[in-house]
Amino acid sequence: MNNLQPSDPTSIGGYPLLGRLGAGGMGQVFLSRTGSGRLLALKTIRDDLSSEPGFEERFAREIRNSDRVRSPWTVTVVDYSAPGRRPQWLATEYVPAPSLADWVAAHGPLPQPALLALAAELCGALQAVHQAGLAHRDVKPGNVLLARDRPRLIDFGVARAADDSRHTRLGVSVGSPGFLAPDQAIGSVAAEPADVFSLAATLVYAATGRGPFSRAGEQIPAATLMYRVVHEEADLAGVPPELVPPLAACLAKDPAGRPTAARLSAWLEESGGRTGRWSDECPAVLAGELTDTEHAARTLVDLAEHPTVAAAGQEAATRTTRSDTVLAAPSEPRRRLRPAWLLTTAVAAVAVVVAVVAAVHFGTQRSSADSSGAAGPATSDKTSASTREPREAEKSKEAGESEPRKSQEPQEGDAAPKVVQAPFELATGESVGSGARSLIIQQDGNLVIYDQDRKARWAAMTSGEGNTARFQPDGNLVVYNSAGRPVWASRTDGHPGAALVFRADGNVVITSGDTVLWAAGTDN
C-alpha cells in the first residue's frame, strides 16, 4: 500500500481514492470505498489499451462474464465505467488477505488440516465457475486469497465463456507456466478439465512449497516449465499420501482422464476435506495477521465506530490517503506492524481487479449497459459530508478534553509557505503549519491536517493516548505510540535533508530538493 501521488485524482467515477494498491500490465489499482463504507479495489485502464478498436466492448463483455459467477468463493464486481468515459475503470470488492503464493513463500507449506480445508473450498469455487458455463483458465497460487471465512478464487482475466465461440483462439497459450494444463500449453482450447489440472498443481504448491513440475528454489525459463508440463510426470513428493491418488488423477496429461471438480470434491471428503472448515483449520499465524489487517482496513471506513476527538473549534478527521495504519494503544499489542505480505497485497488486489481486464487483452467484449451499482458511489469530495460540526467538538471538550498544550501554528492569514527541517517532534496537542494548513497530533492520537476553516483535510487514522509525531533526520514522518512503536509512516526514509513543506497552495509535502517524496493531497 502506498500514498496517492500528487498527480493522482482524488476520486474516479464518484468513488474517493484512499491509496495505491499497485499497478499491473493493464493500469493502476487504487483502494477506494463506497458511500456506505465498503472497501473497493478500483482499477483504471491504460489509455493506450482503451483506445484499441473494440476494447471497450470486450471490456464490458468480460465484466458480464465475471458477474455470472455468484458464489461465496469469488469476489463481486461492484461497478465499472460508462461507455465512452476515460479513464475506463472497474471496481470490485477488496479482500484484505494474502495470496496463497505470498503466504507459502513467507511461511512454508500449509499443515495438512488447512490443506484439506483449502482443497475442499477451491473445489467448491471451481464448481461454481463451471456451473456458470465458464472456464477460469488461470488457477494458480497467486489467484487464491486466504481470507478469514474462506479462500477466494480471483482473476477471471483470462476466463472465456465456454459457450461463446468468439473467444476460441487456437494456437494461443493462455495461463501461467507451471500451473497450466498440457492442453493449454500446446494452445488447445482449454475448458473445465484444464481448471482441474491447475487446481491440483496449486494444491501441490500449497502442500510442498513448489509446483509439481519444478524443484524447490529452482529458477527456470517458462519454456522449460511448459515442456515439463507437456512431457514429464508430476513430482508429488511431499504431498500427504491420501492426497496423492486424487491429485495424480487430476494431473493426467489427457483431459478426458481427469475427474470433474465435483468428483474431486467427493474424493477429498473421504479424506476429511470438507467445505466450511477453513476458518477453523487455517494457520493461527494467518488468523492473527488477518485480524491486524482487517482492523487497519476498518479504520478507513468505520468512522462512526472509531471517531477522532478534535480539539475545541476543530472538526474530526474524515479522510486518509493511507491504509497501512494500525491503531496505536498504550499497552503492547500482540502484533503492531502489518505483516510483510501486506506490502505485496497490491499483487492480490491487482489480481482481483485484473479479473476482467487481462482477458480483454487476449480478446473478449462489452455492451452499452453501465449500471452495475451494487453500492452507490461515494462523494468525490476530499472530506466526508458526515464530518462533525465544531460545536460537537466543543461538547467533547466539555466532556473532559483539554486544550492543546502547545501550538506552533501561525496566525490565520499568513499565506507564506512554511518549511520544517528535521528533527522535529509533535507531542499530543501540539501543531505546526502555515496559515493555509496545520498539522496537529490530537488528544486522541490522530495526526490530522486542518485547513484555515478548521476543516479536516487529511488524517493518518491513528489513535491512542500518548502518541507522538516525529519528522526524522532520515526524511521519514512517523507516528509512534506510547510504547515507542511506529504505527504510521510516510515511508520517505533514506532522504537525509528532506523537508516538510506547507505550500502556499495548501498541499503538505515532504521534499528532497525538487523531488516530492510524499504529498497529503490537501491542495484543493
Look at residue 107 and give its three-state secondary structure: helix
Q: How far apart are CA 28 and CA 347, in angstroms?
A: 11
Q: How far apart are CA 239 and CA 246, in angstroms?
A: 11
Max Cα–Cα distance, the chain, nearest Å: 78
Q: What is the Cα–Cα distance from 263 to 258, expressed in whole angstroms?
A: 10
E strand spans, 5-66? 11-12, 15-23, 28-33, 39-44
H or E element: which one contains 438?
strand 437-441
Please, which residues bridge with residue 510 across strands? 500, 518
> Which cell numbers in the block locate residue 201?
498443481
Residues 48 and 26: beta-carbon distance below 8 Å? no
H or E segment and range at residue 345: helix 345-362
Share of the chain residues as helix, strand and coil, in percent rounded to the nearest 5 = 30, 20, 50
CA gap 48, 106 in Å, rounded:
36
Residues 169 and 208: beta-carbon distance below 8 Å: no
**Active-site entry in 79, 102, 138, 183:** 138
125: part of which helix (H) or strand (E)? helix 112-131
- Assess contact for 60 and 110: CB atoms under 8 A: no
The Cα 153–Cα 75 span in angstroms is: 8
Q: Which residues pair with 22 in a beta bridge?
A: 29
The DSSP bridge pattern shows strands 456-459 and 447-451 to be antiparallel
Q: Which residues of 473-510 are buried (b: 16+ CB within 10 A; e: fewer)?
A: eebbbbbbbbeeebbbbbbbbebeebbbbbbeebbbbb
DSSP letter at 363?
S
End-to-end CA distance of the chain: 23
**Known active-site residue 302:** no
**How many Å apart are CA 91 and CA 18, to the nearest integer?**
14
Cell of 429: 496537542
Tell me the catalytic residues: 138
